Chains A and B, each alone.
Chain A
Amino acid sequence: AQSVTQLGSHVSVSEGALVLLRCNYSSSVPPYLFWYVQYPNQGLQLLLKYTSAATLVKGINGFEAEFKKSETSFHLTKPSAHMSDAAEYFCAVSDTGNQFYFGTGTSLTVIP
């Protein structure tokens, strides 16, 4: 089975600072990788996905992620944090397209 590791269950950044959320995966084949965001009392929303095209993937709300095969990583970044970015972020992986494996999530706090 696949596994996804998100380093840091809680991350705090100042408004305007760089956001970096880490995700490492285990996969024996090139995977499909996703980042989802969850706002309080809501379901998850897709931020971006990697499907073996460009290694740098741009998503919504100014987020992007870079696929690094040698490091088995897919870290999420945003150059300048906004208060509205405060949420729970989940990294997910799939290799079959049927089963998805999610990380344990990272709660992002943005300090004014």
Chain B
Amino acid sequence: EAQVTQNPRYLITVTGKKLTVTCSQNMNHEYMSWYRQDPGLGLRQIYYSMNVEVTDKGDVPEGYKVSRKEKRNFPLILESPSPNQTSLYFCASSLLPLDEKLFFGSGTQLSVL
């Protein structure tokens, strides 16, 4: 089944403790991206990647890192999480950004205490 898999689904952590949210897709998609969803703000793009080893900042990249060492994986890294990074995070992928639709993962609810 074609899908984007995010783990974990829920995560509670404390300020400053490094964490990684994993994202994997099984569709051989070139394009992958991360979003955060906050009430009243909608979805905001954090980082995106056009292909392996090619990443770029989205609208709200501060406090986040990403890597794209393999085509299928695009982990989101929070090196020193802060409470303002408490949010619902979504990973998405597509074969090409505009020619194909974005496939979204089920989301990761992160709480930073």
Contacts and interface: CB of A to CB of B under 8 A. Distances in A.
Contacts of A61: none
A98 interface: yes
A51 B102 contact: no
B98 A32 contact: yes
Contacts of A44: 43, 90, 92, 102, 104
Interface residues of B, number: 26
B45 A101 contact: yes
A99 B48 contact: yes
B59 interface: yes
B56 interface: yes
Given A1-B59, A90-B42, A100 B106 contact: no
B104 A104 contact: no
Given A44-B90, A90-B42, A99 B107 contact: no
Q: Among A43, A98, A104, A105, which residue has the most Cβ atoms of chain B within 10 A?
A: A43
Interface residues of A, number: 26
A85 B40 CA distance: 21
Contacts of A14: none
B106 A42 contact: yes
Q: Among B4, B35, B48, B97, which residue has the most Cβ atoms of chain A within 10 A?
A: B97
B40 to A, nearest CB: 6
B68 interface: no
Given A51-B98, A101-B59, A41 B45 contact: no
Interface in B4-47: 4, 33, 35, 40-45
B58 to A, nearest CB: 6
14 contacts: A9-B40, A36-B102, A43-B90, A43-B103, A43-B106, A44-B104, A49-B101, A90-B42, A94-B97, A98-B50, A100-B33, A100-B45, A104-B41, A105-B42
Interface of A: 1, 4, 6, 9, 32, 36, 41-46, 49, 51, 90, 92, 94, 97-105
4 A-B pairs with least C-beta separation: A43-B104, A46-B101, A102-B43, A104-B42
